[in-house]
């Protein structure tokens, strides 16, 4: 039997019946977009995130863009993003008219390096063409960025701080989630994420009432907020008074029904992920260039289990021949991508990102990965080294 890279089937065996019941309820009532399950899920998500509000949307990319739009980020602004992450983090920045500024990463956590961030902000200010406006910190591979250090920098320079927790939703630092430091946290419910649906989906969790109102407007075609309607003496449907240039980014009700059931076991799955990662670390430490490093007090949600190997490409071929799937997150840093290499303002030395892109490789991982299957994967990795 082939080893899955992410075993969604095991989770389905566990809660498939309850998910199907939820979907049947949606089919019965017929409110397929923004139905009652969406409101239930948003309330449950806010409770899990310990946030005042949760706003669902169509995908994780839209979630980041909604926050940028809600914060008023736009033309002439610089938004600082890590050079080593998925393109979605940087992709949304030009959509607002702003420009991404790429920041190098910490070599152990793969997350944004606060020292490099402060240097990039200083470089942009010295150049004078762009105004530093926001930082998007990514919780890569499931571990929270260094929010205590990053937030001190953003506060000192008067910048917004956004947590891109598409891979790390549920991660903590000393028991606190990224929203403790960020203006808002965005996440993705892409099926492969730690908390994923059966299609696309995303959300923003936040505590700011006024920001929430703007996000609601941007989410549905820039429609009128209650404040807009009161000011303009408008009494019809909000979506027919378009105060802003918005988007169409709503979570389907069926996906909300799926997520309600998955969120109910999410905390337990995060705990199971710690066990699986611990087994990998213990077995592979000393047999590869490095195993994942998690800082003291940090809890990762382990979106991926990523090791480094001096012959990464050779290892990937070797494992593929043995029926073991792998993935490379990410083979090309953002500043070297053809669509983004024109964004050079504030860019300093990005050597860590460039080096890691040549050595990282992710192994099969899920909360339901058995010790027996894991031993098979480990044996194959060790066999290649031998």
Catalytic residues: 193
How many angstroms from the chain centroid is the CA of residue 18? 26
Place of tokens 């927790």: 165
User: Residues with Cβ < 8 Å from 225, sequence gap 6 or more?
Assistant: 213, 214, 216, 217, 238, 243
How many angstroms from the chain centroid is the CA of residue 163? 8
- DSSP class per residue in 206-238: E--HHHHHHHHHHHBTTBPPHHHHHHHT--S-G
Cα(185)–Cα(48) distance, integer angstroms: 13
- Exposure string for 122-148, b = 16+ CB within 10 A, e = fewer: ebbeeeeebebbbbbbbbbbbbbbbbe
Cα(179)–Cα(310) distance, integer angstroms: 36
Phi, psi for 82 (deg, rounded to 5): -70, 145
Cis (ω within 30 of 0) for the bond into 330? yes
Contact 165, 139 (CB under 8 A): yes
Q: How far is CA 166 from CA 137, 141, 379, 382, in A?
A: 11, 9, 31, 31
């Amino acid at each position: 039997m082939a080893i899955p890279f992410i075993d969604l089937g095991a989770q389905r065996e566990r809660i498939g019946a309850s998910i199907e019941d939820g979907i049947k309820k949606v089919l019965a009532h017929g409110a397929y977009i923004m139905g009652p399950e969406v409101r239930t899920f948003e309330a449950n998500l806010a409770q899990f995130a310990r946030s005042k509000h949760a706003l669902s949307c169509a995908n994780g990319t839209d979630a980041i863009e909604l926050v940028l739009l809600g914060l008023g980020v736009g033309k002439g602004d610089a938004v600082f993003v890590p050079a080593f992450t998925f393109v979605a983090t940087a992709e949304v920045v030009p959509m607002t008219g702003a420009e991404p500024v790429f920041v190098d990463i910490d070599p152990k956590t793969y997350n944004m390096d606060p020292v490099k961030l402060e240097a990039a902000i200083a470089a942009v200010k010295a150049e004078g063409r762009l105004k530093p406006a926001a930082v998007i910190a990514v919780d890569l591979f499931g571990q929270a960025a260094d929010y205590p250090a990053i937030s001190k920098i953003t506060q000192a320079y008067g910048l917004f701080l956004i947590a891109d927790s598409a891979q790390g939703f549920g991660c903590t630092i000393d028991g606190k989630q990224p929203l403790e430091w960020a203006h808002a946290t965005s996440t993705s419910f892409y099926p492969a994420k730690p908390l994923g649906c059966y299609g696309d989906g995303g959300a923003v969790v936040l505590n700011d009432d006024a920001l929430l109102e703007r996000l609601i407007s941007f989410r549905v075609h820039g429609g009128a907020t209650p404040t807009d309607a009161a000011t303009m003496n408008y009494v019809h449907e909000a979506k027919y008074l378009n105060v802003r240039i918005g988007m169409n980014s709503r979570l389907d009700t069926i996906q909300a029904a799926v997520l309600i059931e998955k969120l109910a076991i999410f905390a337990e799955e995060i705990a199971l992920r710690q066990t699986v990662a611990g087994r990998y670390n213990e077995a592979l430490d000393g047999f590869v260039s490095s195993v994942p490093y998690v800082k003291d007090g940090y809890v990762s949600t382990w979106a991926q289990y990523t090791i480094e190997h001096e012959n990464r490409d050779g290892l990937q071929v070797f494992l593929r021949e043995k029926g073991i799937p792998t993935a490379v997150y990410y083979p090309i840093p953002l500043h070297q991508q053809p669509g983004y290499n024109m964004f050079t303002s504030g860019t300093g030395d990005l050597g860590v990102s460039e080096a890691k892109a040549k050595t990282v490789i992710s192994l099969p991982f899920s909360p339901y990965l058995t010790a027996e299957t894991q031993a098979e994967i480990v044996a194959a990795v060790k066999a290649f080294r031998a």
